[in-house]
Amino acid sequence: MITPARKPEILAPAGDMPSFLAALAAGADAVYMGLKHFSARMQADNFSTTELSRMLELAEAEHRRIYIAFNTLVKPGDLDAAGRLLARIARDAPPHGLIIQDPGIITLARQAGYKGGLFLSTLANITHQAALQCAAGLDVQRVILPRELSIDEIRAMDAACPDGLEFEIFIHGALCWCVSGRCYWSSYMGGKSGLRGRCVQPCRRMYQQQKHAVRAFSCLDLSLDVLTRTTMDMPHLASWKIEGRKKGPHYVYHTVLAYRILRDEGSDPKARREAARILEMSLGRQTTRAHFLPQRDSAPTRADAPTSSGLLVGKIQHSEDDRPAFKPYIELLSGDYLRVGYEDERWHATLPVTRRVPKAGLLTLKLPKYKTPRAGTPVFLIDRREPELMRLIAQWQARLDACKGVKASAVDFAPRLPRPVTPRRRPDMLVRASVPHGTETRRSRNSLIGLWLTPRSVREISRTVAPHMVWWLPPVIWPNEEDGFRRALLEARRNGARHFVCNAPWQVALFAAESSRSALPDLIAGPFCNLANALALDLMARLGFSAAFVSPELTREDFLALPAQSPLPLGFVLGGYWPMGMGRHAPEGLRPGDPFQSPKGETFWTRKYGQNTWVYPAWPLDFSAKRPELEAAGYAFFAQLEDSPPKTLPATTRPGLFNWDGALL
């Protein structure tokens, strides 16, 4: 039975202690934060377990909740350290919820003794209705929906949500152009993985196509503001989430306060105006509602306009000694934080204000010589420590200081890993982007033709060929696409199709109409499932997968270690064009299919598949020389991804080894 709708909690971000205290002062019902390790925002200050125990003591005294973001990809060698950390917080500071991306953490957290809620992060890619059914059977209590959904799609997810499962939605904060969990851009360009909290935001840069430079991927901030009221009648919606664990206490305080007013007093026009005024003070970027209103779809990027956060407070001029300076449009306070220029400019910098500066007074900036900005460069206020807020934070700090907490100490824990299998050789796959014809459908004894599954591709392949192919499901299926994919899968099965690659673990639920596990086709967990450790692979086996691809993002050490730990036969993407990422938003200002360049001269190209645009680098993956080493390690099958790049794509000699020779940070 569906319970009556309740008010969604206001869920605030906290990357440091002042932001945590500001969230409590503003009236947040819950706060999410990361620890020093295994957090998807490793650039934030984050917290120790001793700090967490004191924060929990304060939160519970105030009837608030704390959720810990443990939402990173866990490599083969990480399980021991991750397990010890989970065991320590389970013993000393158990949060009310753990936000997780890696499916292996579901098992690891319970082994470590954690009894609280398990929440699947938006990085886990729960993007369609059947995925909710799958999550509900995995000891998961909440899922976090992607930011690309419309209000109609959120309602469809609510209607499909099983009892006992709830979800949260993002209502405010930074947007990523790529779908969460489907971005490899930062990792592919230098090993700083967005799936491990190290993203360097290459999407914020300028990209050039035939001398026209645009910020095609740099998104505005999401702000649903008064439209959040339209979600309040959804019985399974538990939380309104504000993004911003790298933001300061000023932002946290004002966004929480505004949305609390909208939730509790939003039927009053005067209160709505007050909330809008407060949101304008939050020092974020320009805002968009993105896809939330399907009849008024709003592009989340401005190709020809900057998208930096903060309030414009002046423009650089040069003093007599040629040092950069500016006259602020407003009074600046000691402790304010400034941004000079934009992220993709060489002189971009952030720095604190160390003394009060009156409006129109002169502030000279202390910057390294190589970061001297041009005259006219804008300066933004990105964080403010106004006295009133500082007094509030000090009051809450005094309450926190009175909490005793638990002093951290070592814990003895070792994860229980599944029994590895002895791998048996399976056929390789040549995965084509378009429907093959004639001799292209023939296979050898040790290989199969793979094809991306769409309603059209199913119709165009004959019944005699369909059983001998491997059908690849897309990495993202949106709510308004699920029925179409269900019908395509049913038709493929009727045509005799037996082999399928699911590119999100939860896509296994699309086969739930089968009468029994024995009736399931041959299901393989695909490379976009981001599988990187034995416990994640064990969960895939329990879901009914017969084999799995490892994430191509790993390093040589990780790749070679995993087969000896795996309870499933493992596959490896040996070559082909691997996407940097994929987004539901069109890259504004770029012509699809034509090459474009980054500020460093790297070349990329895009192609649209269904509702998503895929961004590719000019150089494909190429691990072909590593195949003997991989076979010796125990890999049972390999795949080659075939695509047709633009004819105008320049030749490149850059090696396609992803992170093989590097470090996955």
> Would the pLDDT of 364 be above 80?
yes
409 pLDDT band (50/70/90 cuts)?
A: confident
The C-alpha atoms of residue 263 and residue 34 are separated, in whole angstroms, by: 26
Nearest one of 202, 70, 186 to 124, comparing CA atoms = 70
Is residue 45 within 8 A of residue 34, CB to CB? The reply is no
Distance CA 583, CA 476 (A): 10
Query: What mean pLDDT is predicted for residues 81-107?
Result: 96
Average pLDDT rounded to a whole number, residues 526-535 = 98
Nearest to 279 by CA among 350, 333, 226, 231: 226
**Contact by Cβ (8 Å): 181, 262:** no
Helices (H), 48-200: 49-61, 79-92, 104-111, 129-136, 151-160, 185-188
d(CA 19, CA 195): 24
Indicate if the pLDDT at residue 1 is higher than 50.
no
CA nearest to 34, candidates 81, 100, 79, 108: 100
User: Element (H or E) spanning 33, and its range?
Assistant: strand 30-33
Q: Are strands 221-223 and 166-174 parallel, antiparallel or unpaired?
A: antiparallel
- Give the integer Cα–Cα distance in Å for 582 and 221: 19
CA 595, CA 651: separation in Å to the nearest integer? Answer: 12
CB 122 within 8 A of CB 167: no
Share of the chain above pLDDT 70, in %: 95
Mean pLDDT of the chain: 93
Positive or negative, the CA dihedral 559, 565, 567, 569 is: positive
pLDDT for 339 beyond 80: yes
Task: With a cut of 50, say whether residue 2 has pLDDT above it.
Answer: no
From residue 140, give the alpha-carbon distance in Å to each of 99, 101, 102, 156, 509. Answer: 10, 12, 12, 20, 15
pLDDT over 50 at 302, yes or no? yes
pLDDT in tens, 95-112: 999 999 999 999 999 999
pLDDT value, residue 5: 57
For residue range 450-484, what is the model confidence (pLDDT) as tens digits? 999 999 999 999 999 999 999 999 999 999 999 99
The closest of 416, 104, 478 to 291, measured between CA atoms, is 478
- Outline where 68-114 has alpha helix (H): 79-92, 104-111
CB 122 within 8 A of CB 147: yes
* Predicted confidence (pLDDT) per residue in 417-449, tens digit: 999 998 889 999 999 988 776 545 555 668 999
Whether pLDDT at 37 is above 90: no
Query: From CA 615, how far away is CA 617, in angstroms rounded?
Result: 7
Averaged pLDDT for residues 233-251: 96
- What's the rounded mean pLDDT across residues 154-180? 97
Domains observed in the chain: 9-175+220-283+389-401 (3.20.20.110), 311-383 (2.40.30.10), 428-578+620-642 (3.20.20.70)
| Lowest-pLDDT choice from 114-128, 324-338, 440-454, 631-645 | 440-454
Q: For residue 148, what are the CA distances in angstroms to 175, 477, 610, 611?
A: 9, 12, 15, 11
Burial string for 238-255 (b: 16+ CB within 10 Å, else e) reads: bbbbbbbbbbbbbbbbbb
- Can you list the positions of beta strands (E) in 210-290? 212-214, 221-223, 237-242, 287-288
Asked if residue 608 has pLDDT above 60, the reply is yes
Contact 216, 589 (CB under 8 A): yes
Query: Within 13 A of 664's CA, how many CA atoms are on the CB side?
Result: 28
- The pLDDT value recorded for residue 517 is 47
| pLDDT for the residue numbered 242 | 98
Contact 198, 74 (CB under 8 A): no
Please say if the pLDDT value at position 288 is more than 50: yes
Is it the case that residue 320 has pLDDT exceeding 70? no
Dig out the tokens for 632 from the structure: 């010796």
pLDDT of residue 515: 43
The answer for residues whose C-beta is within 8 angstroms of residue 320's C-beta and 6 or more apart is none
How many C-beta atoms surround the C-beta of residue 305 within 10 A? 11
Identify the pLDDT of residue 486: 96
- Within 10 angstroms of residue 137's Cβ, the number of other Cβ atoms is 13
Give the C-alpha separation, 542 to 124, whole Å: 18
Count of CB atoms situated within 10 Å of the CB of 59:
23
Helix (H) or strand (E) holding 489: helix 482-494
State pLDDT tens for residues 174-203: 999 999 999 999 999 989 999 999 999 999
CA 460 – CA 437 distance, rounded (Å)? 10
Measured distance CA(203)–CA(582) in Å, rounded: 12
Report the alpha-carbon distance of residue 112 to residue 489 in Å, rounded: 39
Q: How far apart are CA 628 and CA 607, in angstroms?
A: 33
pLDDT band at 536 (very low <50, low <70, confident <90, very high): very high
Look up tokens 């034995």; give the residue: 534
CB atoms within 10 A of CB 351: 14
The CA-atom distances, in angstroms, between 332 and each of 15, 245, 355, 356, 375 are 24, 24, 8, 6, 20
d(CA 341, CA 306): 10
For residue 560, pLDDT over 80 is answered with yes
Angle, helices 249-265 vs 17-26, to 10°: value is: 20
pLDDT (mean) for 617-630: 97
What single DSSP character describes residue 334? T
pLDDT at position 3, please?
Answer: 44
Cα separation, 362 vs 26, in Å, equals 34
Contacts of 257-264 spanning 24+ positions with Cβ under 8 A:
257/26, 257/27, 258/225, 258/282, 259/10, 259/171, 259/172, 259/228, 260/10, 260/26, 260/27, 260/28, 262/225, 262/226, 262/228, 262/229, 263/7, 263/8, 263/10, 263/228, 263/229, 263/232, 264/7
d(CA 441, CA 589): 38
Cβ neighbours around 146 below 10 Å, total? 24
